[in-house]
Amino acid sequence: MLDAQTSRGVGYRESDRLELRIALFLGQRPLDIHEIDERVKDILDALGGRIAGPRSRRRIAPIIPLPDQIRRIILEKDTRSLRGRPLGQLTISRYRRRRA
């Protein structure tokens, strides 16, 4: 992800408000066997530069500087089987408040 971010010139400032769209490719397995809140926490940790859990000393450059920048998370189960068997897809975009 860091390589793609660098090659495309994508970056986020601390003042940016962001939305995450997460698709988990779980195949035909039931969603309830996966603790979804734990998967979201893993993703947020990685975006903050913590790659081996919150207590780990292993760090990478953060993709999103501050966790409170994230205003919306959209999570969906995707039953497709994709080439290379990825476990999920993450899209980060600017947060836009929806009109009621």
Tens digit of each residue's pLDDT (9 = 90 or more) over 41-83: 888 888 888 876 666 666 777 888 788 899 999 998 777 766 7
Q: Is residue 42 assigned to a domain?
A: yes
Stated as kind and residue range, the H or E segment containing 6 is helix 2-8
Residue corresponding to tokens 């897809």: 89
Q: Note the pLDDT tens digit of each residue in 19-41.
A: 999 988 866 655 555 677 778 88
Q: Is residue 56 assigned to a domain?
A: yes
For 79, the token pair is 């039953």
Q: Is residue 60 assigned to a domain?
A: yes
CA separation for the pair 68, 78 (Å, rounded): 27
pLDDT at 71: 93
Quick count: other Cβ atoms within 10 Å of Cβ 24?
Answer: 20
Give the pLDDT band (50/70/90) at residue 17.
very high
pLDDT at 99: 76
Q: Is residue 100 assigned to a domain?
A: no
Q: Note the pLDDT tens digit of each residue in 82-98.
A: 676 677 888 999 898 87
Please classify residue 45 by burial: count the beta carbons closer than 10 Å to its beta carbon, then call 0-12 exposed, 13-18 middle and 19+ buried. middle
Is the whole model's pTM more than 0.75, yes or no?
no
pLDDT at 58: 67
Full residue range of the structural domain in which residue 9 is found:
2-94
Which ranges in 9-77 belong to alpha helices (H)?
A: 36-47
Q: Which residues of 63-90 are buried (b: 16+ CB within 10 A; e: fewer)?
A: bbbeeebbeeeebeeeeeeeeeeeebee
Domain count, the chain: 1
pLDDT at 70: 93
Q: Is residue 99 assigned to a domain?
A: no
